[in-house]
Amino acid sequence: MNVLVTGANGQLGKCLQEVAKLETSWNWMFTGSADLDITNAEKVQQFFENNAVDIVVNCAAYTAVDKAETDIENAYAVNAEAVKFLAENCKKHNALLIHISTDFVFDGENENAYLPTDITNPIGVYGASKLKGEQYVQELLKKYFIIRTSWVYSEFGNNFMKTMLRLSESRNELNVVADQIGCPTYAMDLAVGIVAVIKSKSENFGVYHFSNQGKISWFNFASEIFKLAGKEMKVNPIPASDYPTPAKRPSFSLLNAESFQNEFKMQIPAWKKSLANCLKKYQNA
């Protein structure tokens, strides 16, 4: 089985590279933008013609949420048009597409954790571009899994956990937003989840949600990072209105992952447990 992973140099891509070491019976093809420019329709077509592809895991994304507000063309090129090119070629070559999306497709007005069937209503360019990518997949394909996730972090790349640890080297007090609610996702858990999707051979195609289990704010997340890392840091909870950003963010983006756990027979870990695992790996490295 030939598995193409796009966005291989991002957090999730690097975690998949780690998980792939345990799945040696599959032929993994890990590509970054230098190996395969998925925003170029011709190059995507050529890749599929030159390589037998059974499954595509699309981890590539434009994730600069604030920059996207002015860099609209590039955000849509990566998050929407490139996804269309992948979907078109998956259809032509009868390949399964596993596409990673985001909690930002929602407006944050829910009171309960978002179900995959809940109505989408993005409030920024990043979320809108990711939703457009989802729509292309659903219009073009029958064989697909869209996996929405939230607050992704890992020992790789740039993320909230590593930013907090970096700030702790030079500061002893921080203000962190306390009225945006959701749950973080350890990218290594998501990578394990993607492998579970592939192994399941499920044909219950559609949209699923994946995040670690729990319900917290960024303030809670930061506080636990410092606690587990043994850092002396005073964390002050502040409202999002005290920390204005170019892009609006959903105030509530908790994802209900029950359907994922049931379909793919995976118990997703609680967020504190996964954070502890990630910190241990990061500190050991």
| Burial (CB count <10 Å: 0-12, 13-18, 19+), residue 275 | buried
- SS3 (DSSP) at 99: strand
Helices 218-229 and 271-284 cross at an angle (nearest 10°) of 50
| Contact residues for 22 (Cβ-Cβ < 8 A; gap 6+) | none
Rounded to whole angstroms, the Cα distance separating 195 from 117 reads 23
Contact 88, 48 (CB under 8 A): no
| The token pair that represents 278 in the structure block | 């990630």
State the distance between the two ends of the chain, measured CA to CA, in whole angstroms.
32
- Count the neighbouring beta carbons within 10 Å of the beta carbon of residue 106: 24
Helices 218-229 and 160-167 cross at an angle (nearest 10°) of 60
Which of the residues are catalytic?
A: 126
